[in-house]
């Protein structure tokens, strides 16, 4: 059995799902890569970590962080359960959702209030708040 070779992809020109939704096809400067849907969640977790780590190494700054730009957000319940879902709308039509136990919401609100006041944002009054 031969050793697998490293696949070096330096540019992406297009991405698409196969008609059956089983594979994400990535077209770029190499032959098309096909990623099975079973690895997409692991890839989603690995990519932000890799971006942050690469930036820290390249810029020699261990304090550097990474965050995706968000164009909007929604909050809701997952099937009436005790889990709250927060969905962030990224560029285009992409979205990223997180779920957390409802009992953590007061702590989340406290942290958001602290971050907002630290940024000079006035604390909203109840009639100023709109959940999307």
* pLDDT classification of 16: cutoffs 50, 70, 90: very high
Same domain, residue pair 76 and 42: no
Answer yes or no: is 3 within a domain: no
Query: CA-CA distance, 40 to 36, in Å (whole number)?
Result: 7
Same domain, residue pair 79 and 111: yes
* pLDDT classification of 124: cutoffs 50, 70, 90: low
At 23 the pLDDT is 97
Answer yes or no: is 67 within a domain: no
The DSSP bridge partners found for residue 83 are 101
Answer yes or no: is 44 within a domain: yes
* Structural domains of the chain, count: 2
- The model's pLDDT over 41-86, given as tens digits with 9 standing for 90+, comes to 999 889 989 999 999 999 999 988 888 888 888 888 877 778 899 9
Identify the domain containing residue 106 by its residue range.
Answer: 72-120
Q: Is the pLDDT of residue 116 over 60?
A: yes
Query: CA-CA distance, 68 to 90, in Å (whole number)?
Result: 7
Maximum Cα interatomic distance, the chain, rounded to a whole number of Å:
67
From the list 32, 39, 37, 40, the residue with the least C-alpha distance to 19 is 37
Answer yes or no: is 66 within a domain: no
Answer yes or no: is 64 within a domain: no
Answer yes or no: is 33 within a domain: yes
């Amino acid at each position: 059995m031969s050793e697998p070779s490293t696949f070096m992809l330096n540019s992406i020109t297009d991405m698409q799902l196969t008609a059956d939704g089983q594979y994400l096809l990535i077209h770029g400067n190499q032959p098309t890569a096909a990623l099975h849907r079973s690895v997409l969640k692991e890839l989603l977790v690995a990519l932000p970590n890799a971006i942050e780590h690469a930036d820290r190494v390249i810029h020699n700054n261990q304090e550097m962080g990474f965050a995706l730009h968000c164009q909007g957000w929604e909050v809701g319940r997952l099937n009436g359960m005790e889990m709250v879902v927060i969905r962030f709308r990224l560029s285009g039509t992409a979205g990223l959702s997180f779920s957390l136990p409802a009992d953590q919401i007061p702590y989340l609100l406290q942290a958001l209030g602290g971050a907002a006041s630290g940024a000079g944002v006035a604390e909203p009054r109840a009639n100023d708040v709109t959940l999307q």
